[in-house]
Structure 1
């Protein structure tokens, strides 16, 4: 596939535009400034963003086609939970693909910043939409608290979206998700030590989901393994690609955990006072 199109002469780190110089350990393989059509052509030749494009592009199409077959649409009373979950699983991948394909667009830094905000918005959506079924089911037996928690989480997520899409560094972007993470952790504690409900099997999956996602973010920030061998991981195996794979793993664990909860909720009845 990579031989279908002869790509342009690629650039070294020092010769690429300054707004694309965010990983000094990736030394070669940068695409030159390109039109939208030329950006699309870059899907068919080797460069240092190709792994980032396909590591989220392929899962996007797999999720788009395959996830609906595993979601129990007709077995859930509130079908909106299934819709929200499906959108959550798709959201981080589509924004990421668009960002990585067009990041070297001739529009320059303004276009780049817009695309980066789109990418971060997708990450915010998986945090927001992915947690809504967890909140709904954990507080199933407390309708008033459930509604309050959903509203609070949506407002908190709006703040997180603002912080993530305006942040200028990876550290600040990761910090934008801290409060959402703490909110979900409080729900997990309520399941274990309080009166929260949910499948006995889903909690472990959700904890793994958050742990994998955080680890991926940390790997991206500290830029390993390329930090230890600059130039060796320019095209494959660098920190951002590792983070992409871990994001996909986190989405899969989110999906498995939500399926466990959806199967559990069919037969559960809240205790009557």
Structure 2
């Protein structure tokens, strides 16, 4: 993280928490899921895994949300950020009581849709965000969509249900889903760094296209 150039340390730590949380929750879930302590213990582990995913979806995307609305009026900024937070909290509450894999995955639909709408806003003259980050943001949204597809694949147990016993170690639906999530987090990281540096400049409108990539300053000094 280019700490000396970023707009907000709080948003930077939100991004770090969002990048790390799913791996912590998933690691603990997979490590202890086979212990024979009953269904209640297993569902607690599953909820911990869902909380990690929620932190990634909510806190991890908060810098992108703030950058996208950065050039709007202050009341509208806070309204959109508040709406996103309400959608995220609502999704968490639903995920904690969801009774099936499909219901757990659908809990994150509203935040996902709002992130896509904010991506469209960035293209308009009213939107904010680093222009250099647009490629990573689009790839992040695509990977976010692919992650949703991966979640659907996981819920349907494809392709292992077609090859019983042959894909227990690799290339099963859960493996595929995790690879897609890794790619989504990687592109989120690339876009977030650019957005945090761009917000520190406070430049909106056509002039925001002149903000350089944070590594370009390092290359000039070298």
TM value normalised by structure 2: 0.84
Within the candidate set 167, 172, 178, 1:244 is matched to 178
Cross-structure match for 2:22: 92
SS in 2 for 1:227: coil
Q: Is the 8 A contact 1:135 1:146 kept in 2?
A: no
Cross-structure match for 2:7: 77
Cross-structure match for 1:119: 49
Shift of 1:104: 2.1
Within the candidate set 72, 78, 94, 1:147 is matched to 78
Shift of 1:266: 3.8
Counterparts of 1:72 and 1:143, CA distance in 2: 26
Cross-structure match for 1:161: 92
Counterparts of 2:149 and 2:170, CA distance in 1: 19
Query: Deviation string for 1:189-226 (max 9, x for gaps)?
Result: 21123511112232332232222322321221222221
Higher relative contact order (CA 8 A, sep 6+): 2
Please tell me the root mean square deviation across aligned C-alpha atoms, in Å.
1.6
TM value normalised by structure 1: 0.69
Cross-structure match for 1:269: 203
Counterparts of 2:74 and 2:60, CA distance in 1: 19
Whether 1:131 and 2:65 are equivalent positions in the alignment is no
SS in 2 for 1:219: helix
Structure 2 counterparts to residues 16-95 of structure 1, below 5 A = 71-95=1-25
For structure 1, list consecutive stretches of 5 or more residues without a partner in the other structure: 1-70
Shift of 1:154: 1.3
Query: Deviation string for 1:214-239 (max 9, x for gaps)?
Result: 23212212222212211100122211
SS in 1 for 2:59: helix
For structure 2, list consecutive stretches of 5 or more residues without a partner in the other structure: 206-222
Give the aligned length.
Answer: 201
Q: Is the 8 A contact 2:7 2:196 kept in 1?
A: no
Cross-structure match for 1:259: 193
Q: Is the 8 A contact 1:212 1:249 kept in 2?
A: no
User: Greater Rg, structure 1 or structure 2?
Assistant: 1
SS in 1 for 2:91: helix
Counterparts of 2:105 and 2:176, CA distance in 1: 16
Shift of 1:268: 4.3
SS in 1 for 2:60: helix
Whether 1:178 and 2:112 are equivalent positions in the alignment is no
